[in-house]
Chain A
Amino acid sequence: MPATTETVLGVFAYVDTTVRALEELRAKGYHDLTVYTPVPVHEIEDVLERDRPVSRVRLFTLIGGLTGTVSGFLLTIWSALVWGLTTGGKPVVSIPPFVVIAFELTILFGGLATLIGMVVLGRLPRLTPSPTFDPRFTNDRFGVAVHCATGRGGSVREILRGAGAEEVRP
């Protein structure tokens, strides 16, 4: 990565022009892009996800869920053994009722871990807005921020304008 980079932002009003810009940029070798969209858009994701692995949030969910299952069984079995009270002639460690607790904790821990995963991987919370963010991106505009080597800005601006950006800055 060069020591100095610059960032060019293109603001688009339409999905198809945004996609066109992304395709052009990728064809010209610009891969360091940030795309802002008011809603998740399949067409844009299709272009971007080609060289990206699947989100690792699911790993958090799996680990959280399994932790829940294990801790549910550990809590119930261990606490039943601490005070081994036999009721109704049933075994002190009776697995069927403990499944309910283990199930609930699986969901609870899995859900909380998913939340942590989403926050950590999505770099939330952001205390200061990124310099390329524009409030219109939560309304009806799409933004493409291109991070490129200094001096390449001119050609990036050209690609963005050519694809149909209504505004290019800086």
Chain B
Amino acid sequence: MMSQSPPTTPTFADVNRDVLRTLGPPGNLYFAWMCVVALVLAWGILAWTGQIWWGMGMAGKRVPQQWAMYITTFVFWIGIGHAGTLISAILYLFRARWRTSIYRAAEAMTIFAVLTAGLFPLIHAGRMWFAYFLLPYPNQRDLWPNFRSPLVWDVFAISTYLTISTVFFIVGLIPDIAAVRDASTGWRRRIYAMLALGWEGSDSQWRHYRRAYGLFAALATPLVLSVHSVVSWDFAMALVPGWHSTLFAPFFVDGAIFSGFAMVLVLVLPMRHFFKLHAYIQEKHLDAMGKLILVTGLVLTYFYLSEIFTTLYSGDEFDKASLFWKVTKSYAWALWLMYFCNCISPLILFWKKARTSPVVLYVVSILVLIGMWFERFNIIVPSLGHAFYPWAWGIYVPTLTDTSIVIGSFAWFFLLFLGFIKVLPSLSIVEVKETLPPPLKDRPHASHH
């Protein structure tokens, strides 16, 4: 890389100062947001309590749509969780330097999204205190999970994903927490000292750390691609028209990355604005993320088209009927909303000015998130509502309970994220420094690189 850095390139000490500044006492706006989010979450918890108390009838799901809002939102959140590990693992292996200033926030987002997603199978199952039935544990009846069921693969895939993402996140944080420790005093210092595991940045620590980090990235790369594939097989292994397709694994993975990047922007743009991180999250970072959204959006459009094509080309009457029903009948508005949000709205990002404009990016990201939620809705609800037998056709109508729980899940996610940005460095001190020119006493000759 040529050293075309502007004169305002931050120094190592600037990075420490600017990142530590984000951990300072929050203002009123922060507390106002926290209150709003906490209230919405409380409402969601109340709704869930009602569902546990009065039973699953409180949620709108009934035959044939036993999978409705909850599984839609579950898949949505798992999808959101994909961008973080994509940025921290795949882009790390590809040495994409622009990832450094956003990867910490994206990784935190991943963990919080998976934690949110993990609630939904429990909410959906009703008696969530029996959730441990899913785990393989020795019991006196010699019963084991059915490992031929995609739902059990899901348990393994998602718990592995949560564990590995968390480990990856924590390992990345260790040197940064050490930096926070060395700049803080009192009880904070003691807590950060414990969390930093006594990190000192000695050569032997770095040596093993770097090797381990590369290996984590190598392990997480196939993992991130596998998780949403496994989630997609929850559907594709079933015979329901609209689900039973070999297209599903790549289709889900692409959609996950698409929506994940949109959520990264939704979180990072306000962070950049309020923490004044413009020196670190520059236009070129926004541009890169905009391009990724555009590319994954175009790939997604291609998948939508092939889905329609394979249905028409297969000649399968049930598949064709299901497609016709989705495109023209009860849930057609949701389908067309999805096409607009996911296929049309990202097209504006072909324009460089749009890719570097926070406002445009924000609007597109919100539309993409809406579109991707509806994508999962369109896969689940209309497909189940119009499968093989006419006497088993039906319409799903959301209730106050399940809507409140779904909205509450967003509050839960944002609550976790808001907490995170004030407690842990939301920008990687070490990795941002690594992309800066190292401090040199004697400037190298121009032909050095």
Which residues on A are within 8 Å of B, measured CB to CB? 13-17, 33-41, 43-45, 48-49, 52, 54-55, 57-58, 61, 65, 75-76, 79-80, 82-83, 87, 90, 94, 97-98, 100-101, 103-105, 107-108, 110-112, 114-115, 117-119, 121-130, 133, 135-140, 164
Hey, which chain B residues are within 8 Å of A110, CB to CB?
215, 219
Question: Which applies to chain B's interface (DSSP): helix, strand, loop or mixed?
Answer: helix
Asked if B270 lies at the interface with its beta carbon under 8 angstroms from chain A, I say no
Q: How far is the CB of A48 from chain B (nearest CB, A)?
A: 5
With A and B bound together, what is the CA distance between A163 and B168 in angstroms?
Answer: 38
Q: Which of A55, A100, A115, A125 is the one whose CB lies under 8 Å from B167? A: A115
When distances are taken between beta carbons in the complex, the residues of chain B under 8 Å from A34 are 202-204
Name the interface residues of B186-201: CB closer than 8 Å to any CB of A: 197-201
Contacts of B16 in A (CB 8 A): 138-140
- Verify B430–A130 contact, CB threshold 8 A: no
| Residue among B164, B181, B206, B220 with max Cβ neighbours from chain A (10 Å) | B206
Chain B residues with a Cβ closer than 8 Å to the other chain, count? 62
Compute how far the CA of A17 lies from the CA of B211 in the bound complex, rounded to whole angstroms. Answer: 26
Given A108-B164, A138-B175, verify A122-B204 contact (CB < 8 Å).
yes
How close is B212's CB to chain A, nearest CB, in angstroms?
4
In the complex, chain B residues whose CB is within 8 Å of the CB of A52: 207
B226 adjacent to A129 (CB under 8 Å): no
Question: B211, A55: Cβ atoms under 8 Å?
Answer: yes
8 A Cβ contacts from B432-449 to A: 433-434, 438-442
A97 partner, pick from B147, B181, B182, B199, beta carbons under 8 A: B147
- Distance (Å) between the CB of B221 and the closest chain A CB? 10
Residue contact B11 to A140, C-beta cutoff 8 Å: yes
Complex CA gap A136/B13 in Å reads 10
Q: Which residues of B contact A87 (CB under 8 A)?
A: 146, 148
A-B contact pairs, 8 of them (CB 8 A): A15-B440, A55-B207, A114-B212, A115-B212, A125-B198, A126-B199, A138-B16, A138-B201
A residues less than 8 Å from B142 (CB atoms): 82-83
Query: Are B211 and A129 neighbours in the complex by a CB distance under 8 Å?
Result: no
Task: Annotate B134-163 by CB proximity to A: 1 below 8 A, 0 otherwise.
Answer: 001000001111111000110011011001
Q: B147 to chain A: closest CB distance in Å?
A: 4
Smallest CB-CB separation from A141: which chain B residue?
B12
Say whether B178 faces chain A, with CB atoms less than 8 Å apart.
yes
Closest A-chain residue to B12, C-beta based?
A: A140
New A-B pairs, 17, CB < 8 Å, besides A82-B142, A100-B156, A107-B219? A15-B439, A16-B440, A37-B203, A40-B209, A45-B207, A58-B215, A75-B147, A82-B144, A97-B147, A101-B147, A108-B164, A110-B219, A115-B212, A117-B212, A130-B202, A133-B202, A139-B16
- Taken together as a complex, chains A and B put the C-alpha atoms of A102 and B12 apart, in Å, by 44
Contact in complex: A125, B197 (CB < 8 Å): yes
CA–CA, A47 to B439, complex, Å?
18
Cα-based distance from A130 to B62 in the complex (angstroms): 63
Pick from B143, B219, B434, B439: contact of A83, CB below 8 A. B143
The answer to whether A57 and B211 touch (CB under 8 A), given A115-B171, A122-B205, A138-B201, is: yes
Specify which chain B residues have a CB less than 8 angstroms from the CB of A58 in the assembled complex.
211, 215
Would you call B47 an interface residue if the criterion is a C-beta within 8 Å of the partner chain's C-beta atoms? Answer: no
Min CB distance, B431 to chain A, in Å?
8
Task: Contact check, A104 vs B13: say whether CB atoms are below 8 A apart.
Answer: no
A75 and B160 in contact, given A38-B12, A40-B206, A139-B179 (Cβ under 8 angstroms):
no
The CA-CA distance from A155 to B201 in the complex, in Å, is: 26
Q: Is the CB of A118 within 8 A of B13?
A: no
On whether the beta carbons of A14 and B167 are closer than 8 Å, the reply is: no
Bound complex: CA of A14 vs CA of B438, how far in Å? 8
B219:A138 contact, CB within 8 angstroms: no
Tell me if A114 and B440 are in contact (CB < 8 A).
Answer: no
With A79-B147, A100-B156, A139-B13 as given contacts, are A122 and B208 in contact (CB-CB < 8 Å)? yes
